[in-house]
A and B are shown apart, each in its own frame.
Chain A
């Protein structure tokens, strides 16, 4: 190999980089010695300023590190994009160098400084992000060092050996500083990242809880409305149960009273029969006495004896009369225990009610010609036939009508002006039963009477006029005999209404 004359050979000391440059026949050998070690780059085929080319590598690395470390694409997307063009100034310089052949180290260092300054500016732009601030703090001394070095080189200022050492040491210090703080920044970033993740998890948790709260609120509202509905239903059921209970107690009371009444009647019947029979037979005996042995007496005695006998017969007849009266009461009582004799047949209750209404009205008119009342009938034409013992239900109706006429008659006697007695009977078809209402605008009754009206022997009529068994028997017939209900509604001085329901 032919020995080439040395065109340029510079050993630069005063900083820790020694650059040996030798150019020969379009070939150049670049020796770069610095604190990081010795790199030898050999570009034998092209006569270009390779160092400038290579200085792009740390710049690109820096860009990459910045992007990765600071999440530039998300934090500063446009800056991140712009950083992708960091090689362009270098390329421009390189082309310029190729054309003008500056052959100077300044280009290289300048570009590096430029790149690092850009990095510092990016960091400064992100100074609110703590790791970025730390990296800025880390990088600043080194960039400052590079700037000073460049100024020194550019100014061609030679420092004394003492200052050279300081500069050399400060580079090492700056690098150490750079790495240390970079590591700190990394740990800061990790911490921040961890915090961020925790915050995110917390946020997610919070959102989940919020969603759960909403769901819970909805469930609570749903449950509350369901409970309210249930409570309402329960209240209704309770009211219904109470009513049913009251009715049951009432009918049970009536039933036991009916049984008691029948039992008493049975017990009374036999002695009463004896009373009646003996009084009757005594009358017979007295007649016999009068016709037989008495005729033997002297006339004076006979008259006296006859008087006594007449009185005795009269007394015995009184006993018989009242005995018979008691007997008819006992028979009424026994009706309570009497098994229904009639047969159940489908009956048109409209016709039955009409028949008995007229019957009782004319019965009353026969006794009291002056009595008059309006009879109003309101029969449901769609009333289905009900299977009943028609004589029994007829008896109940007769009882109702008789009571109604009695009540209007009593009110009429009060002589209220403008009073028009009215007895109204109406029938109604219900879902599973038939309803008969007998209403009069008579004297009505107070609650105390209403409460006892179905009890045997309870009557408001004067002694001898009513036995007090009519309504208690009616109750028996409707409730026990036919499985229906018998209720009363009344307002004192205004009206009384009996409501009979019979199951279809």
Chain B
């Protein structure tokens, strides 16, 4: 089972993801956790780091931005020690060329554009799971 942490300040994201991945959750393929801010996400990771395989984070958030969160994750959990670092996918707003480049520089594994294309996302998860 793949544990996914979704970070977004919009609370409705939870409902949306749960409904979109209804079948997968039911089948026990994936499990979602949700954090509504960067700080919350870091707090969650401190306790459940080894479990989390994938982090999906919005970039534009009040308080700690997605990019800051990304930097923390890459600093706090370097590449080498036994539990492999989580894959991080950033979700950028349409046309945010600058944050796109910044995210890649900070070590994001992939970038998704809002509105999220769930079919494509499922495809990516499938590939990640099989890898």
Contact = CB atoms under 8 A, between A and B. Distances in A.
Given A274-B10, A276-B115, A266 B93 contact: yes
Given A269-B93, A338-B95, A339-B98, A327 B115 contact: yes
A258 to B, nearest CB: 13
A277 B119 CA distance: 12
Nearest to B115: A273
Interface of B: 10, 12, 16, 19-20, 22, 93-95, 97-98, 114-116, 118
8 contacts: A266-B93, A270-B114, A274-B16, A277-B16, A285-B19, A334-B95, A337-B95, A339-B97
A204 to B, nearest CB: 86
Contacts of A266: 93
A10 interface: no
Given A273-B115, A327-B115, A334 B16 contact: no
A274 B93 contact: no
Contacts of B19: 278, 281, 284-285
Interface in A181-203: none
Given A334-B94, A341-B97, A269 B114 contact: yes
Pairs A-B, 8 closest by C-beta atoms:
A273-B115, A338-B95, A281-B19, A334-B95, A339-B97, A281-B20, A277-B16, A274-B12
A331 interface: yes
Interface string A327-366: 1000100110111010000000000000000000000000
A438 B123 CA distance: 48
Interface residues of A, number: 21
Contacts of B114: 269-270, 273
A272 B94 CA distance: 13
A338 B98 CA distance: 10
Contacts of A327: 115
A273 B12 CA distance: 11
A273 B8 CA distance: 14
A121 B35 CA distance: 141
A341 B95 CA distance: 10
A281 B16 contact: yes
A337 B98 CA distance: 12
A341 B16 CA distance: 32
Contacts of B16: 274, 277-278, 281
A265 B116 CA distance: 17
Contact of A269 (B22, B94, B98, B116): B94
B10 A270 contact: yes
B14 to A, nearest CB: 12
Contacts of A276: 115
Interface string A273-289: 11011100100110010
Given A274-B10, A274-B12, A338 B115 contact: no
A305 B93 CA distance: 40
B51 to A, nearest CB: 26
A265 B115 CA distance: 13
A327 B22 CA distance: 26
A327 B16 CA distance: 18
A203 to B, nearest CB: 89
A262 to B, nearest CB: 9
Nearest to A331: B94
Given A266-B93, A270-B10, A285-B19, A277 B98 contact: no
A175 B85 CA distance: 150
Contacts of B116: 273, 277
A269 B96 CA distance: 13
Contacts of A337: 95
Nearest to A273: B115
A273 B10 CA distance: 11
A255 B97 CA distance: 20
Given A270-B10, A285-B19, A277 B115 contact: yes
B96 to A, nearest CB: 9
Residue picked from B20, B97, B115, most chain A C-beta under 10 Å: B115
B93 to A, nearest CB: 7
Contacts of B10: 270, 274
Interface in A98-154: none
A99 to B, nearest CB: 143
A299 to B, nearest CB: 27
Contacts of A277: 16, 20, 115-116, 118
Nearest to A280: B118
A278 B10 CA distance: 14
A284 B23 CA distance: 11
Nearest to B97: A339
B12 to A, nearest CB: 6
Contacts of A331: 94
Contacts of B98: 339
Nearest to A282: B19
Given A269-B93, A284-B19, 11 more contacts: A269-B94, A270-B10, A273-B115, A274-B16, A277-B16, A277-B116, A278-B16, A281-B16, A331-B94, A339-B98, A341-B97
A167 B94 CA distance: 144
A119 B22 CA distance: 153
B75 to A, nearest CB: 29
A503 B95 CA distance: 27
A341 B94 CA distance: 13
A432 B11 CA distance: 55
Interface in A232-270: 266, 269-270
A284 B10 CA distance: 22
Nearest to B19: A281
A321 to B, nearest CB: 15
B20, B95, B116 — which one has the most chain A CB atoms within 10 A of its CB?
A: B95
B88 to A, nearest CB: 21
B18 to A, nearest CB: 10
